């Protein structure tokens, strides 16, 4: 993020707004899931996906309000316009989509040990080839299916954390905060989080925190690259599903995915650290 949006201290209001916005929308789903609001349970859970989309704009709302109140309207306009540049090079696109390798490995390895294959939820839809379904779903994920979170997470607040704590610790802190931001989803029926281990999920998100930040830095702070990276990851979750729809399942695929992603994050950290020591100007 450009220094003109920076203030001296980490904007705590960003985190307050981000959590209040998301958790306020998650609350009806949570209450319906644990037995309250029984008269409206079917309606509320039927709107679950729409509510989740709106809730996931929490980091964007937090960033917009923070910039507007701390820096003014002109800074907000410039910040929003900074997401319009898509010129970050072929290398970035390749790195973003290379994450498919980790998904496919975690999807296939269990089959070698007798686990049944999980069918992609993007295949066999109205006899439309999977690749076309994936492209449409990918665009939706970038704009509304998780990618929009990066307007706030890596697009706005990460530079503050990196400026104060450095890339390694800053990304770790944000990964942990990001995980707890998803906490209500672990108690909402039908969500992926309700079927998985919390610490497995934290391991995954910490790895992604390093990966997304690295992608943005490599793209010379083209913030759209962060949205695309996040949306791509979420799209691959449906193309190569790592989660079995049973709460008592070991979720071996997700553990493999989480561990591999965390290892990749570690490799990124080591590589960046070595390059920085040899050349302080490297991203």
- Percent of the chain at pLDDT > 90 equals 69
The more confidently predicted of residues 238 and 277 is 238
Digit-coded pLDDT (tens) for 159-209? 999 999 998 999 999 999 999 999 999 999 889 999 999 999 999 999 999
Task: List the alpha helices (DSSP H) in the chain.
Answer: 12-33, 41-46, 48-55, 58-71, 73-81, 89-97, 99-108, 130-143, 158-181, 198-218, 224-239, 252-278
Digit-coded pLDDT (tens) for 219-254? 998 999 999 999 999 999 999 999 988 777 889 999
- Residue indicated by tokens 């900074």: 82
Nearest to 261 by CA among 182, 181, 205, 196: 205
pLDDT at 119 over 60: yes
Rounded CA gap, 251 and 144, in Å?
26
Rounded CA gap, 208 and 233, in Å?
9
Nearest to 32 by CA among 24, 22, 42, 23: 42
Rounded CA gap, 102 and 99, in Å?
5
DSSP label of 128: B
Tally of residues, the chain: 283
The confidence band for 277, taking pLDDT boundaries of 50, 70 and 90, is: low
The reported pTM is 0.91
């Amino acid at each position: 993020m450009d220094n003109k949006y920076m203030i001296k201290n980490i904007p705590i209001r960003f985190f307050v707004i981000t959590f209040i916005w998301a958790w306020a929308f998650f609350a009806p789903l949570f209450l319906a899931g644990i037995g309250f609001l029984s008269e409206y349970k079917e309606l509320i859970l039927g709107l679950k996906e729409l509510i989740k989309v709106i809730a996931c704009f929490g980091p964007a709302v937090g960033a917009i309000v923070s910039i507007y109140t701390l820096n003014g309207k002109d800074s907000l306009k410039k910040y929003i316009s900074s997401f319009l540049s898509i010129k970050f090079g072929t290398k970035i696109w390749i790195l973003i989509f290379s994450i498919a390798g980790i998904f496919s490995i975690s999807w296939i390895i269990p089959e070698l040990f007798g686990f049944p294959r999980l069918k992609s939820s993007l295949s066999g839809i109205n006899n439309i080839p999977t690749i076309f379904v994936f492209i449409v779903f990918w665009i939706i994920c970038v704009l509304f299916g998780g990618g929009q979170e990066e307007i706030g997470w890596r697009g706005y607040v990460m530079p503050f954390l990196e400026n104060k704590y450095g890339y390694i610790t800053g990304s770790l802190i944000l990964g942990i905060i990001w995980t707890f931001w998803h906490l209500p989803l672990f108690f909402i029926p039908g969500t992926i989080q309700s079927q998985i281990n919390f610490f497995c999920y934290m391991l995954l998100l910490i790895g992604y925190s390093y990966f997304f930040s690295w992608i943005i830095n490599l793209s010379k702070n083209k913030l759209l690259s962060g949205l695309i990276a996040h949306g791509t990851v979420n799209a691959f979750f449906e193309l190569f599903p790592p989660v079995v729809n049973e709460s008592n399942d070991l979720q071996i695929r997700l553990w493999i995915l989480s561990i591999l992603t965390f290892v990749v994050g570690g490799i990124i950290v080591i590589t960046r650290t070595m390059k920085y020591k040899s050349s302080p100007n490297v991203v």
